[in-house]
Amino acid sequence: MENNKIAVGLDIGTTKIVAMIGRKNEYNKIEVVGIGKAKSLGVKRGVVSNITQTIQSIQQAVDEAESVSGIKIEDVVVGIAGQHIRSLHHSDYITRNDAEEVINEVDIENLVNQVHKLVMLPGEEIIHVLPQEFKVDSQADIKEPIGMYGGRLEANFHVVVGQVSSIRNIGRCIKSAGLNLNEITLEPLASAEAVLSQEEKEAGVALIDIGGGTTDLAIFKDGIIRHTAVIPFGGNVITDDIKEGCSIIEKQAELLKIKFGSAWPGENKETEIVSIPGLRGREPKEITLKNLSKIIHARVQEIIEHVYLEIKNYGHETAKGKLIAGIVLTGGGAQLKHLRQLVEYITGMDARIGYPNEHLAGDSEDILSSPSYATAVGLLMEGLNRHIKDDEEIEEIVRESEVQTPETGIEETSQELPPEVEETPVPKKKKKKSFFDKFTEGLKDFLDNAE
């Protein structure tokens, strides 16, 4: 088994940390060879709040995945979320020196680098710069400007911003757990990779990922990401409300929510009652399911209205921004009974539950296609796609070096080189670094220096 063809997605969530090891099979589907799960103790609302506990949880998840698969994990792709993430729109342009030359990747890189010079609030750093449409001279709405002529190249950007300290804390946890940080990506983008189809992204769709501590939103239209947001509450606040409203402990509240919870209060009759054992010999408590679903309904409604406000801010109600494919719900919170109906009722948009099974191999375990693993599957896909890109770049380098090798006319002998004469290395084409590569490298340097 080739180890380099394997990737690992590490989803550091508020309720659980998942390490997922996988590779592509011959049908280009993902075969998950190992999965490890640990209770996440040091993360609050998507942000690391206790480094030591988070490191332990990461190690526990990684050890479990390693023992299931028999593969040693070294590099991981990590998702980042949390209430500190915000996104903004920005337009920028460059004037090219020579309008007679066609626009190439370097021009686009210069334009993206210019956006990185934007002045952020103190303690914030740009995480992603995602170009939307380009404009060449006065011709607008260009999706791919490479190969065109023009003197002025302009673009609209979707810029995702996050807090430096939070990102560094995640980096520190991963390094201390003995792992290399291969890539950081925004969690809603990873979940979108796993559960949305290309048609949905074209038609316009809002992905709502309801996690334990945060609810992430990603909006796509015309195949391009248009808006991202992280709302700082998720399934945990529902559990807290049940705990307070019914005066029971958290463990019981969580079980009640999963087993009997419903987002739609109309369907339970007054007579349906659950009895909960009291603590240390106290009387058991009786809770009516109608009350339970009223508590859940109130909180879920609040979460959905927050998300719907973001969708309206993006411009869903304008003719151009209409999201034809509606809403896709994923994440652990999407498993709440009757949630889909409530979302459709509040927003008036079509909704479906997003399962990450489309990209998984046919014989995968059923548990993997649960919405709560959407982010982990998305991060794993991100890691595997990165391998493919790297392979293509290596092939290109090899092809170019073959072209550069001059014909000497001397027949090559099969004589072996003496040990002291080393073969000259193939000239390496400068690999175009994405901002994320640069960012991750900067983060690695920072962590090395901080030791």
Along the 451 residues of the chain, how does pLDDT read in single tens digits?
455 589 999 999 999 999 999 998 888 889 999 999 999 988 888 889 999 999 999 999 999 999 999 999 889 999 888 888 888 889 999 999 888 889 999 999 999 999 988 888 888 988 888 888 899 998 988 989 999 999 999 999 999 999 999 889 999 999 999 999 988 888 888 999 999 999 999 999 999 999 998 899 999 999 888 898 889 889 999 999 999 998 899 999 999 999 998 998 877 677 888 888 888 888 888 888 889 999 999 999 999 999 999 999 888 788 888 999 999 999 999 999 999 999 999 999 999 999 998 888 887 788 888 999 999 999 999 999 887 777 777 887 887 777 665 554 444 444 444 444 444 444 444 444 555 565 566 666 656 665 5
Q: Does 291 map to a domain?
A: yes
Q: Does 107 map to a domain?
A: yes
* Orientation of helix 164-176 relative to helix 51-69, angle to 10°: 50
Q: Are 158 and 207 in the same domain?
A: no
Predicted local distance difference test score (pLDDT) of residue 315:
83
Q: Are 229 and 136 in the same domain?
A: no
The count of structural domains within the chain is: 2
Specify which residues 297 forms β-bridges with: none
Alpha helices in 315-362 (DSSP H): 339-347
> How far from each other are the two terminal CA atoms of the chain, in whole angstroms?
35
Q: The tokens of 383 are what? A: 């890691």
Q: Are 147 and 266 in the same domain?
A: no
Q: Are 141 and 253 in the same domain?
A: no
Residue with tokens 């021009």: 107
Is residue 77 classed as helix, strand or coil in its secondary structure? strand
Q: Are 217 and 323 in the same domain?
A: yes
Residue after which a domain boundary falls, among 355, 385, 412: 355
Alpha carbons 103 and 123: distance in angstroms, whole number: 35
Q: Are 281 and 349 in the same domain?
A: yes
Question: CA torsion 334→338→342→345, rounded to 10°?
Answer: 130
Q: Does 429 map to a domain?
A: no
Q: Does 415 map to a domain?
A: no
Q: Are 233 and 123 in the same domain?
A: no
Q: Does 14 map to a domain?
A: no
Residue after which a domain boundary falls, among 316, 337, 355: 355
Predicted local distance difference test score (pLDDT) of residue 368:
86
Q: Are 203 and 339 in the same domain?
A: yes
88 sits in the region (left: phi over 0; alpha: psi -120 to 50; else beta) called: beta
Contact 134, 154 (CB under 8 A): yes
Q: What is the CATH number of the domain that holds 119?
A: 3.30.1490.110
Residue after which a domain boundary falls, among 355, 388, 408: 355
Q: What is the CATH number of the domain that holds 253?
A: 3.30.420.40
87 sits in the region (left: phi over 0; alpha: psi -120 to 50; else beta) called: beta
Q: Are 215 and 158 in the same domain?
A: no
DSSP character string of 381-409: HHHHHHHHHHHHHHHHHHHHHHHHS----
The pTM of this model reads 0.83
Q: Are 239 and 148 in the same domain?
A: no
Q: Does 333 map to a domain?
A: yes
Q: Are 144 and 269 in the same domain?
A: no
Q: Are 113 and 242 in the same domain?
A: no
Contact 352, 329 (CB under 8 A): yes
Sign of CA dihedral 52, 53, 58, 60: positive
Sign of CA dihedral 299, 300, 301, 305: positive
Predicted local distance difference test score (pLDDT) of residue 438:
58
**DSSP-derived secondary structure letter, 205:** E
Alpha carbons 46 and 48: distance in angstroms, whole number: 7
Specify which residues 273 forms β-bridges with: 288
Q: Does 254 map to a domain?
A: yes
Tell me the residue range of the domain where 343 lies: 198-355
Q: The tokens of 334 are what? A: 């999407």
Q: Does 306 map to a domain?
A: yes
Predicted local distance difference test score (pLDDT) of residue 41:
87
